[in-house]
């Protein structure tokens, strides 16, 4: 996928009409652009309740009153739906927990969808996986033990493995089908599972954390689905308390924390719970992921009482870690400038969080 992803970015420039050579002539058009320009024909294999006329629309499908399927009714983002052109559906099956769908898209590569919600695309997964991993791991010196909650695609594991200081990685993913599907369709992410430091636990993270020794981890990364349905408990106080107990003093949590455009109440709730639970720093950061609702996603970074953690100015910068930039594949999104910039908040969000007092407690 490496070349494809890079071609994808170049492809966008050409399609936007911004890429031309010195003669003003367009460069040779990559095949992915030609496919896009030719407005691909409908395929028989485009048959799924979220795919209408060859377009997948992010939604949670459910049966309407008349028995038909209702689209665009996701309670997390009412009144909007982002659509992605489908080339071919590659996999659709119900696991014990959710419906798992993989399709080849016209412009984002392969896409993984769980219960109608986009979890990753080959083109933009780098932004999410690199930021959710290196924001916490570059904020502490020499991380050694890390727990990943969820993240069954393996992308966060791939990113953790850039840190040679890490000795032990536990991952607790509830749905084995997500892991199997990633191994089959997303080898560039599932490669994360091949690192011998990785210990896979298929099961409920809340149960797993209850049995984790106190102070076991330097960092916990919660790479969960949206908090509707089974992931609801992952934004509630008892879950944050068990994480806090499992972290060493001055250990860090990075939690997927939704969009500032759509979920300010949820972000406020998570920050206020975490300010009580984590006695060190609590910060909100965000980044751009075009295929997530509203095109951005946030992260909540928290540290436990102990050695001070300055999240904004990374103490363990990736540029100083030998081989990190090129381990398995080059970093595509994250660098220390992106790290610090991720904590700058627009004024509307600062205002909406201001009732929490100094939410960005240092
Ligand atoms: N992607 C995942 C995951 C857990 C398992 C497999 C893939 C994510 N968590 C992030 C989802 C963000 C959704 C934003 N609407």
pLDDT tens readout for residues 87-134: 999 999 999 999 999 999 999 999 999 999 999 999 999 999 999 999
Quick one: pLDDT at residue 358?
59
- How far apart, in whole angstroms, are the C-alpha atoms of residue 117 and residue 75? 12
User: H or E segment at 238?
Assistant: helix 237-246
Convert the pLDDT of each residue in 320-340 to its tens digit. Answer: 999 999 998 999 999 999 999
Cβ(174) to ligand 1 under 6 A? no
Q: What share of the chain is helix, strand, coil (3-state, %, to 5)?
A: 35, 25, 40
Mean pLDDT of the chain: 85
Cα distance between the two ends of the chain = 40
3-state secondary structure of 154: coil
Token pair listed for 8:
């994808």
Cβ(111) to ligand 1 under 6 A? no
**223 included as an active-site residue:** yes
The rounded Cα 294 to chain-centroid distance in angstroms is 14
The rounded Cα 177 to chain-centroid distance in angstroms is 18
The DSSP line for 242-257 is HHHHHEEEEEEEEEE-
Cβ contacts of 27 within 8 Å, gap of 6 or more: 14, 19, 20, 21
The confidence band for 286, taking pLDDT boundaries of 50, 70 and 90, is very high
- How far apart, in whole angstroms, are the C-alpha atoms of residue 110 and residue 172? 24
**Which ligand 1 atom is the nearest neighbour of the CA of 175?**
5
Neighbours of 334 (CB within 10 A): 25
Quick one: pLDDT at residue 61?
54
Average pLDDT over residues 220-230: 87
Which residue in 124, 175, 218, 223 is the catalytic one? Answer: 223
Q: Which of 58, 102, 151 to mutate to test the pocket of ligand 1 (most atoms within 8 A of CB)?
A: 151
Cβ(178) to ligand 1 under 6 A? yes
- How far apart, in whole angstroms, are the C-alpha atoms of residue 186 and residue 154? 9
Q: Beta strand pairing status for 110-114 and 69-70?
A: unpaired
- In angstroms and rounded to an integer, the radius of gyration of the C-alpha atoms of the chain is 21
Cβ(256) to ligand 1 under 6 A? yes
Using left for φ > 0, alpha for ψ between -120 and 50, and beta otherwise, residue 258 falls in: left
- How far apart, in whole angstroms, are the C-alpha atoms of residue 211 and residue 154? 23
**Which ligand 1 atom is the nearest neighbour of the CA of 297?**
14
Cβ(193) to ligand 1 under 6 A? no
Quick one: pLDDT at residue 311?
98
pTM of the predicted structure, to 2 decimals: 0.85
Average pLDDT over residues 1-24: 38
Q: Which of 58, 113, 132, 150 to mutate to test the pocket of ligand 1 (most atoms within 8 A of CB)?
A: 150
Quick one: pLDDT at residue 41?
42
Quick one: pLDDT at residue 46?
65
- How far apart, in whole angstroms, are the C-alpha atoms of residue 66 and residue 60? 17
Query: Taking 80 as the threshold, does the pLDDT of residue 69 lie above it?
Result: no
Length of the chain, in residues:
362
Cβ(190) to ligand 1 under 6 A? no
Quick one: pLDDT at residue 75?
76
**Which ligand 1 atom is the nearest neighbour of the CA of 155?**
7
Quick one: pLDDT at residue 354?
81
Convert the pLDDT of each residue in 169-209 to its tens digit. Answer: 999 999 999 999 999 999 999 999 999 999 999 999 999 99
């Amino acid at each position: 996928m490496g070349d494809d992803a890079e071609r994808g970015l170049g492809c966008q420039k050409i399609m936007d009409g911004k890429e031309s050579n010195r003669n003003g002539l367009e460069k040779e058009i990559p095949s992915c652009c030609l496919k896009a320009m030719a407005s691909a024909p409908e395929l028989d294999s485009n048959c799924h309740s979220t795919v209408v006329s060859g377009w997948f629309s992010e939604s949670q499908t459910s049966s309407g009153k008349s028995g038909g399927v209702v689209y665009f009714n996701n309670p997390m983002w009412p009144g909007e739906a982002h659509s992605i052109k489908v080339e071919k559906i590659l996999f659709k099956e119900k696991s014990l927990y959710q419906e798992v769908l993989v399709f080849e898209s016209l412009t984002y590569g392969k896409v993984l969808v769980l219960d109608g919600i986009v979890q990753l695309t080959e083109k933009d997964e780098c932004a999410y996986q690199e930021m959710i991993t290196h924001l916490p791991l570059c904020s502490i010196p020499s991380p050694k033990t890390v727990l990943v909650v969820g993240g069954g695609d393996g992308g966060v594991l791939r990113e953790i493995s850039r840190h040679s200081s890490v000795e032990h990685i536990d991952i607790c993913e509830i749905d084995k089908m997500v892991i199997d599907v990633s191994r089959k369709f997303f080898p560039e992410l599932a490669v994360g599972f091949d690192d011998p430091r990785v210990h896979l636990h298929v099961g409920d993270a809340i149960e797993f954390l209850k049995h984790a020794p106190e102070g076991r981890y330097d960092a916990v990364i919660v790479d969960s689905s949206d908090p509707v349905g089974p992931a609801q408990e992952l934004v509630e106080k008892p879950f944050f308390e068990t994480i806090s107990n499992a972290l060493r003093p001055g250990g860090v949590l990075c939690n997927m924390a939704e969009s500032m455009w759509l979920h300010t109440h949820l972000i406020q709730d998570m920050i206020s719970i975490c300010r009580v639970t984590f006695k060190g720093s609590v910060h909100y950061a965000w980044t751009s992921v075009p295929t997530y609702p509203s095109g951005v996603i946030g992260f909540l970074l928290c540290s436990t009482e102990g050695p001070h953690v300055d999240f904004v100015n990374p103490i363990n910068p990736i540029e100083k870690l030998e081989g990190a930039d090129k381990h398995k594949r080059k970093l595509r999104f994250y660098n220390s400038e992106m790290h610090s910039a991720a904590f700058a908040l627009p004024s509307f969000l600062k205002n909406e969080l201001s009732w929490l007092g100094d939410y960005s407690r240092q």
